[in-house]
């Protein structure tokens, strides 16, 4: 019985879900819409990713194997986020980039899986894009921006 009480006490002491950590300041973005407006503008899958921080199935996006020249924009607000020359095939099943367009992507922390990951979202509308990891190409930035294709809109380069 003492072991159970000790275990429960330790769990309470080391619980990382305190109310202090849950109170985060809500960010205000240049483009804000009601939930109903986002739902009417976005497909169901884009809404799930951009507004609910969901994840699309790997290898399901046609943008994963898109090698055309152009720019990848936010599917929610059309902000340019990534350039095609920074895209690479990571083999993970999601479009991957070694860098973002500075100032257009914002970062936060995601603890949904029980450990911290660096989350990426559109700096203009706050839409969830994916996550950034430190296992990208060493010859460039070393970063892998692992982005949900449904959160992106590809705009081809003008010739």
pLDDT in tens, the chain (159 residues): 666 655 555 454 444 443 333 334 467 899 999 999 999 999 999 999 999 999 999 999 999 999 999 999 999 999 999 999 999 999 999 999 999 999 999 998 888 777 788 999 999 999 999 999 999 999 999 999 999 999 999 999 997
| Greatest CA separation for the chain | 75
pLDDT of residue 27: 73
The three-state DSSP-derived secondary structure of 79-129 is CEEEEHHHEECCCCCCCEECCCCCCCEEEEEECCCCCCEEEEEECCCCCEE
- Around Cβ 61, how many Cβ atoms within 10 Å? 20
pLDDT at 115: 73
Give the end-to-end CA distance of the chain in Å, rounded to a whole number.
Answer: 75
Which candidate in 74, 122, 125, 146 is catalytic? Answer: 146
pTM, 2 dp: 0.81
At 116 the pLDDT is 80
Contact 32, 76 (CB under 8 A): no
13 is catalytic: no
User: Is residue 12 classed as helix, strand or coil in its secondary structure?
Assistant: helix
3-state secondary structure of 77: coil
Enumerate residues 6+ apart whose C-beta is below 8 A from 11.
none
């Amino acid at each position: 019985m003492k072991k159970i009480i000790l275990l429960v006490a330790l769990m309470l002491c080391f619980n990382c879900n305190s109310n202090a950590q849950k109170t985060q300041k809500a960010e205000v973005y240049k483009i804000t819409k009601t939930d109903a407006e986002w739902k009417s503008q976005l497909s169901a899958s884009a809404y799930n990713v951009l507004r609910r921080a969901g994840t699309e199935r790997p290898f399901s996006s046609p943008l994963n194997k898109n090698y055309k020249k152009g720019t990848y924009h936010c599917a929610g607000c059309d902000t340019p986020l990534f350039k095609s020359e920074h895209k690479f095939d990571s083999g993970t099943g999601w479009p991957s980039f070694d860098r973002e367009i500075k100032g257009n992507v914002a970062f936060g922390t995601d603890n949904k899986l029980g450990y911290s990951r660096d989350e990426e979202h559109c700096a203009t509308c706050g839409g969830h894009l994916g996550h950034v990891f430190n296992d990208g190409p060493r010859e460039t930035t070393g970063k892998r921006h692992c982005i949900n294709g449904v959160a992106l809109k590809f705009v081809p380069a003008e010739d």
